[in-house]
Structure 1
Amino acid sequence: MTAIITALLIAPVLLFFYLAVCAPRLEKLAVALNLIGDSAVFVDQKLPLQIAPTAADGAQASVVDIFWSVSGSPLAAVNPSLDRMSAELVCDEPADLVVSVEAKALDGSGLTASLEVKVEARPVIATSLNLVAGDPVPRG
């Protein structure tokens, strides 16, 4: 009976120790941050962007403290999702932009990635005809 009570008292402590100390070390440590997205978009379109942190063996890894930024135009903005693993780029004027994302690996080391994006005006013919068949593709 005493052994059962002792086991019931020790089990939560061991579980807490495992979850607090051992389990986080099982996750892969990110060594690279890949930013995925198109390199050209039209002014009135939203460009979806996504990050893919990878470990040394190429497997998916975890990152924290993700920060998105964009430079090249005061009218450009990056709207991150709630988990900050993806975002949408919007810009209201033609511009050459650089989207950057910074994150920290689980060991605290900093990772960065950037992507150059050309924002183009829509072709006049596509704007005036309001094509329903599909959006034209940017040249960049």
Structure 2
Amino acid sequence: MGAATVMLVNSENPPEQVKIIIEDCGFTNAHEEISNTLKDIIHFNFTPLVSMASLVCKMKAGYFFNDADCIGKLPLAKNPILFIHGGADTFVPTEMGIRLHKACTVPKDLFIVDGAVHAYSYYDAPKEYQQKVKDFIVKHIGSL
């Protein structure tokens, strides 16, 4: 959820202290992610039920699942983004990370860690991960 949060804030009015965004294993939008997860776990298309749950969420909490629409907001991004994703992520499929990267209109980089499952990119390739982050910071801010 942190990746979604930083992508959404970056598309609105981020504080001036925010110069770059580094997101790891972010989803395209909440509705798609919930539908995908249920289909993966239960092997049934729950999209209509997820839509109904989204309506209940709107009535109870004040927002629809599609309000967390990272891919739809990326064309409004203000700061450069480093997209990181595990190459074997099935919880938030790697394809979502690729789609996010393609939708982004600001300077961007994509780092896919071969074989990494959800949220394990750093653990599976710590040196490469650290280097990619350092390089991105230096490229867009100038120094560490």
The TM-score with structure 1 as length reference comes to 0.24
The TM-score with structure 2 as length reference comes to 0.23
More helix by share: 2
Rg (Cα) greater in structure: 1
More strand by share: 1
